[in-house]
Amino acid sequence: VRLALGWACWKTYLGRPETDVVRCTTMVALGDAIRVNRRPEEALTVFEAHAALVRRLWPHNEGGILVTQSNIANCLGQLGRHDAALTLERKIYAKRVAMFGTSHQGTIMAGTNQAITLYKLALFDEAKHSIRDQLLPAARQSLGADHDLMLKIYQNLAVALRDNPKRTRGDPRWNQ
């Protein structure tokens, strides 16, 4: 259903000028619908076209560019191209920290995505330190202990600790 709605939205607004915000938004809706229907290669094409459009028409919309880059990184991850996804996620996180600070929800989400990719690349120690030293303190301060993103961060830390073949007895401690 979501894929059909994505295509319907795109077809409805395709005739509008390239500069029309609704047309641009439907492009993202289409890409997202394709991606969640397990067709990341096709979604990647849509998101790359969207990124080119945003850069060309709204080059100063850094927030919009970051969102599009996040969609591209998600597609790369789904395609198993984790090295490329991590490179992009590092840039996204660094830019979000510079623009919004470490306690912004979008920055925390970008850091969480980066930590998940670090885990997928078996970079467990880096994932653990990223979560413990950067994400947890910022998320606690700005989101609070009961926020769903906070719970996701704890889950990612637990998985990184559990699956690290070099773990030690001291690793299960949440704070060091």
pLDDT in tens, 90-148: 999 999 999 999 999 999 999 999 999 999 999 988 988 899 888 999 999 899 888 99
pTM of the model: 0.85
Q: In angstroms, what CA-CA distances link 122 with 30, 93, 108, 119, 176?
A: 32, 19, 21, 5, 21
Average pLDDT score over the chain: 89
Give the per-residue pLDDT at 172: 58
